[in-house]
Amino acid sequence: MTPSRLIPPLIVVLSALPGLANAAVVSGELKQWHAVSVTFDGPASSETATPNPFTEFRLDVTFTGPSSQTYKVPGYYAADGDAGNTGATSGNKWRVKFCPDAPGTWHYTASFVTGPKIAAQPTGGTSAGFFDGQTGSFAVAATDKTGVDFRGKGKLEYVGAHYLRFRNGASFIKSGSNIPETFLEYDDFDGTPPNLDYSTHVADWRAGDPTWASGRGKGIIGALNYLSGLGVNSMYFLTMNNHGDGQKAWPWTGPDSYYNYDCSKLDQWDVVFAHMDAVGIMMHVVLSEYEIQSYFEVAELGAAGGFAPSRKIYYRELIARFGYHLAITWNVGEENGMDGTGYGVGQTTQQRKDTAAYLRQLAYYADHITVHNGPSTDDSMYVPLLGDPSFTGNEIQWHQSDTEHDKVLQWRTQSAASGHRWVVSLDEPWTAQTVLTEFRIWDVWATYLAGGAGCEFFQTGDGQFDDFRTKETYYQTVARARKFLEDNVPFATMDPADALLSGAAGYVLAKPGVAYLVYLKAGGTASLDLSGAAGTFTVRWFDTRNGGALQTGSVGSVSGGGVRSLGSPPSNPTLDWAVLVGSGAAAPGEAAVAPQMKVTAYNKVSGTVSLSFGTACIATDHSIVYGPLSGVASYAYSGRVCGLGVSGTAAFNPGSGSVFWIVVGTTSTLEGSYGTSSGSAERPETTGLGACDLPRSLATGC
């Protein structure tokens, strides 16, 4: 809603003949993992109408895909259907947004019911007429996105492991920004008191990037471009802080209008979130903070405790409008359970569990659901949550010190023991003043080597922070560490193994017999216990402070079978280093196994073949080798296509005639298996074809 426009409550008389309802409008790029909107003509209403469109109606749309997969997706009132640009507060458009997970024909059926606060109930209600029961279909093509764009990777989900995983098989490590928590207090959003303008990042906006309302939004979009360019892949933000620290972010028409949602503001938020998908930044959605953790119950019911209908509708509105995005953490609350007064009365364990269960019921994919502890010296709230099926991890706040490695390791270990592994992240290494060296040693590398799945940069006093350039070195530090793990070790199949290290202070992440990553906090000459390993292992050093290529220290290789000295680092022997012990980067597994390779399109005129395929584990890239079909028995390869990325899709032109081809996973130094023949023999590798020809290794790291 535009702040200057005040509209009196609209009394709406609802009547319609369902059989005469207009056909829904399906819009979007109609590609796998791209947003599809289905917009219905329904009852005219407004943000302040009676009956209330946000409480007295419930829209759900069931989508059925080409493999009979079904998803029940909540919908929402959309004013005039373009409120983000028009500022409209009224209209007759009702919408659902969804990202289909497969190419092919999709069918949908709408359910549109009414009843007293029916939006707070998962079932029940009576038909609201109009489009209730309406069906339709649309065709979806394969995605055309690659690189960091999440639309080329698919949904990021919890898979019962210590790391989240994209649908294309790639595991995810978070290198995030925890500031500003007031990220949505942006001057260009409707109905938002002025605070942040991100003016220094307007120059980072690029032609073709999104804006709204005649060019607004360039600052915040540019800021996301800048962060993505540094390698930041997650942004932490509050969706309500009306009585918290910032007090300028909320999804409603006013700070306490908790049953009246601001359609134009939320459309504008969604433009920003969609751009986060495009530039590879996960939405870390923090649903409340310490000062307002009991806001809904106190404001609506008069006392803390229970589960207010307004809270349920808040969660439903957010998931209806934004749950289609591809990488989301739903964080129950910042410093949740830290007891205060009034709106800040601490939530109980049961309330946390109820919230997580409700979010799990609403979310139609396996989204990540977590909670943040407080204060920074007390994380006991996590104990009764271990094993809870709705929680998939925790977001640790802890005082910045050299104890953070043990803290991350504690919750990783205890969650595994419960039978329900958590995705553990260090989000708020609390300190009055963050120092780069301590951030790198105590927070970043300590977390990743404990098997932590994420680390975020935090500083105090971030309420008016909107120039990310001032913290560039911190973002480079956390992104550099994450990228090193992604490119060089099979981190998703490794475990903390600090006991293997002796002679120097540090940590070990290991896949025994395959790869070992050692972090030395202050350099030194360390030894690694390889008693249970056989063969020869290279020893290479990585400069955690400056990055660059792997280097050789005083020892170039070691053999398994005992405790072996790793020697001294190449330089700066008293500073922190990472040591990679193994056969270089562990080799990828076989590609196109799960799912198997499928031809999704063939252009007879150009000869271009489009494919989808399961990516190889730990691969950072893929290539295709091909040859004439007449030479398939001897694998007479004649060409190679490089740089296909890890999206699980590709398009290439093998030339005229009948051909065969094989998809191969690669890293920066090795290529993996070509698969086996019908006789179970490993297919031969190709040599000398293409710039991406690399030595093959069958010593897979996964």
Q: How far apart are the first and last CA of the chain?
A: 51
Which token pair is 645?
């990325």
pLDDT of 587 over the 80 cut: no
Residue 237 pLDDT: 98
CB of 424 within 8 A of CB of 453? yes
pLDDT of 129 over the 50 cut: yes
* Span 173-177, average pLDDT: 98
| This prediction's pTM | 0.86
pLDDT of 477 over the 80 cut: yes
Residue 9 pLDDT: 32
Which CATH code for domain 587-702?
2.60.40.10
* Span 498-510, average pLDDT: 98
Tell which CATH architecture fits domain 493-582: Sandwich (2.60)
Residue 681 pLDDT: 81
| Beta-sheet pairing, 328-331 with 368-370 | parallel
Q: Which range is most confident: 4-18, 225-239, 601-615, 670-684?
A: 225-239
Residue 2 pLDDT: 38
**653 or 25, greater pLDDT:** 25
pLDDT of 44 over the 80 cut: yes
Whole-number Å distance between alpha carbons of 264 and 89: 7
pLDDT of 18 over the 70 cut: no
Residue 583 pLDDT: 60
- The CATH class of 18-140 is mainly beta
* Span 278-300, average pLDDT: 98
Residue 31 pLDDT: 97
Which CATH code for domain 156-488?
3.20.20.80
Residue 19 pLDDT: 44
Task: Tell me if residue 491 falls in helix, strand or coil.
Answer: helix
Residue 678 pLDDT class (50, 70, 90 cuts):
confident
Contacts with 396 (C-beta within 8 Å, 6 or more apart), sequence order:
372, 373, 379, 404, 407, 408, 411, 424, 425, 426, 427, 428
Check for a shared fold between 156-488 and 587-702.
no
Residue 58 pLDDT: 98
Residue 14 pLDDT: 34
pLDDT in tens, 23-41: 999 999 999 999 999 999 9
Question: Mean pLDDT lowest for which of 90-99, 334-343, 581-590?
Answer: 581-590
Residue 702 pLDDT: 64
| Sign of the alpha-carbon torsion through 443, 446, 452, 454 | positive
Spans of all domains in the chain: 18-140, 156-488, 493-582, 587-702
Percent pLDDT > 70 in the chain is 96
Residue 7 pLDDT: 29
Residue 617 pLDDT: 81
pLDDT in tens, 54-107: 999 999 999 999 999 999 999 999 999 999 999 999 999 999 999 999 999 999
Residue 336 pLDDT class (50, 70, 90 cuts):
very high
DSSP secondary structure string for all residues of 425-462 = EEEEEE-SS--HHHIIIIIIIHHHHTT-SEEEE--S--
pLDDT of 15 over the 70 cut: no
CB of 323 within 8 A of CB of 71? no
pLDDT of 519 over the 60 cut: yes
Residue 1 pLDDT class (50, 70, 90 cuts):
very low
Q: Name the average pLDDT for the chain.
A: 93
Contacts with 528 (C-beta within 8 Å, 6 or more apart), sequence order:
500, 501, 508, 516, 518, 558, 563, 564, 566, 581
Q: Which range is most confident: 446-450, 483-487, 685-689?
A: 446-450
pLDDT of 290 over the 50 cut: yes
Q: What's the Rg (C-alpha) of the chain? A: 26
Percent pLDDT > 90 in the chain is 80
